Structure 1
Amino acid sequence: MTGGKVVVDEPLPLGTGGRGAADAVRFLRDCQSRALTVDWVPDRDALPFDTGLLHHLPPPAHRPTPTGGSGGTDEAAAWRSRYAYGLFYHRRGPDFVTVMDRRDPSASARFTLDHPALLGAFLAVQEPTALDELDTTRREAVSLLADERLVLVTRGWVVALPPRLSRWPVPCTSV
């Protein structure tokens, strides 16, 4: 890391799903929380989940191909074109979390997680967590959070998607 930019030397293991993908998403989410620019590439072109879930995170770098053509996939290009800081984030209050989701401009949403089971599950999966480690109540809550696209569930692992931003994405007078 140098001056607000992180360069990842090896491809992030998003394509494998599971623990590796959950760790990679947490890493990108935490970089987003700190408003860091990240230069990275995925380990595979095709990912085992909807990349639209991740358009709020720093997109993969554009890499030219050895033949001089354009590198990457249409998915990666779409991610780069849709990315903007502050599309999706959460803020914490006493006994609640508010999530703002503007990843899909036609379906922007604001969620307030104040039910103890939902709040507990959301906070528990800030770190990648195996679904098997969660009790029945938290697994049910994770299922509800996944239905609202607030968490990524991949091959038995779950991680929360919205970063907790340290820099406000809009002028404070706009809220």
Structure 2
Amino acid sequence: MDTTLTVRKPGAVLGDRLEVSTSELPRRLADGGAAPVLLVTGTPYAPGLDAVTGDLLWQAGVREVRIRETVRADDGLLHFLHFLREAASHGIEVVWESEGDLGCDTRLLYHLPPRAGDPSWRSAYRYGLCHYRVGPGFVTVTDQRRGPAVPFTLRRTQEIRLVQDLDRPGPSDESSAFAGLLRSGLIISNGRDALCLPYRLRRWPIPCTVI
């Protein structure tokens, strides 16, 4: 599967576009070959999107991504959620819509850019709603997706390793650490693969008291 990005340069007419495949996207972003608005066509959950980080998007000048194709609940959904999470880490807007149910509790996704036509998600969403910080030998998570802020610290080596390993979609396992993170909503799984949901804050919100 592949994803094609149609990039409209600032001030260019609508017909002046540059199409970039998923395999070329990280290099294109690294070279600065992007624009404030990216128009995405093709499957929006190609595995190649896992190479796209929020830093790459932000440094290339991207501030909004518009997904042209409808997102469906299938095996590729975790790749798209990873893309949303990376955009959210910098507060980059993503305009997208889904077809039917996503097959999960969408409240777990309220910290990610909301889908079109979902007023509950849109009203709940804000930057920093569920994020983590890394320290020497610990990870501190702040989660406000389902109510007041619930900060807590992960200190077990296996939990910290899972947060790191599942920064991109990776295999699920049967460990107690995995089960605990799954119950707490810090990871999401399709049964075979899983993804860490909180993101690292890449810029500080103003006012900082919102998180």
- Whether the 8 Å contact between 1:97 and 1:113 is mirrored in structure 2 is yes
Deviations 1:44-95 (A, max 9, x none): 221211001000100012xxxxxxxxxx4xxx22111211111111111122
Q: Structure 1, unaligned stretches of length 5 or more? A: 62-71
Amino acid at match of 2:168: E
How high is the sequence identity, in percent, across the aligned residues? 35
Task: Determine which of 159, 171, 180 is the counterpart of 1:130.
Answer: 171
* 1:6 and 2:65 are equivalent in the alignment: yes
Q: 1:160 — aligned with what?
A: 196
Amino acid at match of 2:147: P
Amino acid at match of 1:2: A
Alignment of 1:83-102 (within 5 A): 83-102=125-144
Task: Determine which of 91, 101, 104 is the counterpart of 1:49.
Answer: 104
Deviations 1:16-48 (A, max 9, x none): 2x3x11111111000001210111112x22121
Q: Structure 2, unaligned stretches of length 5 or more? A: 1-33, 37-62
Change in CA separation of 1:94 and 1:171 when aligned onto 2, cut-off 3 Å: farther
1:25 match: secondary structure: helix
Q: 2:147 — aligned with what?
A: 105
Change in CA separation of 1:173 and 1:40 when aligned onto 2, cut-off 3 Å: closer
Task: Determine which of 121, 144, 159 is the counterpart of 2:162.
Answer: 121
Which structure has more relative contact order (CA 8 Å, sep 6+)? It is 1
Q: 2:60 — aligned with what?
A: none
TM-score by length of 2: 0.66
Paired with 1:174 and 1:39, the residues of 2 have a C-alpha distance of 23
Amino acid at match of 2:199: P
Paired with 1:143 and 1:173, the residues of 2 have a C-alpha distance of 32
Tell me by how many angstroms 1:155 deviates. Answer: 3.1
Deviations 1:128-152 (A, max 9, x none): 0122xx5x5xx32111101111111
TM-score by length of 1: 0.78
Q: 2:20 — aligned with what?
A: none
Paired with 1:115 and 1:170, the residues of 2 have a C-alpha distance of 32
Tell me by how many angstroms 1:156 deviates. Answer: 1.6
Tell me by how many angstroms 1:2 deviates. Answer: 3.5
Tell me by how many angstroms 1:173 deviates. Answer: 7.6
Q: 2:9 — aligned with what?
A: none
Amino acid at match of 1:57: L
Paired with 1:49 and 1:21, the residues of 2 have a C-alpha distance of 11
The alignment's C-alpha RMSD in Å is 2.0
Change in CA separation of 1:109 and 1:155 when aligned onto 2, cut-off 3 Å: same
